[in-house]
Structure 1
């Protein structure tokens, strides 16, 4: 009887181990990328912006990243946004040289 119970216990633990190995842990799952769902209407100071990301869904937006790491979403159709993108691209091109 003890051997039977031990065999069942071993099979149970092998099953748990297999499920855990196949599924992976939470730490091994890729992080979801932050996306814009609302847009700021305030014009940002271009000197405080270090990079940007373009986004098409769920809304068409530009996500600016500030020198402090803050991410702010804005509409890409504004003139100041296009000027900021151009300035950031120029700064990155200068740093690569």
Structure 2
């Protein structure tokens, strides 16, 4: 009997954490409470996202995985976004470049057998 009650409670507990209500919104995991004011070294930035809402922010994601919120109107933020975009488009171009075909041998030696 205790095992049955324990199993029932476990199922109820799991369903509470796994099932979302109809029409409910899942809150965004990244919430900016304050904005970083000092410039971030661009070489440490991996990517970014733009957060709209009550506090507009650019969320930089560093190579270590840290998320740093910054003011999208700041000059250093605009420059960093341009730099990240340029860096990612350069990588994309390098990946999309395809070889034009097999290279022909430039060896012109001729071997004569007699």
State the TM-score, normalized to the length of structure 2: 0.59
Unaligned regions of 5+ residues in structure 2, if any?
Answer: 19-25, 94-114
* Structure 2 residue 86 is the aligned partner of structure 1 residue 93: no
Aligned partner of 1:47 in structure 2 is 43
Aligned partner of 1:16 in structure 2 is 9
User: In the alignment, is the contact (CA less than 8 A) between 1:36 and 1:61 conserved in 2?
Assistant: yes
Unaligned regions of 5+ residues in structure 1, if any?
Answer: 1-5
Structure ID, larger Rg: 2
The structure carrying a bigger helix percent of its residues is 1
How many residue pairs match? The answer is 86
State the TM-score, normalized to the length of structure 1: 0.67
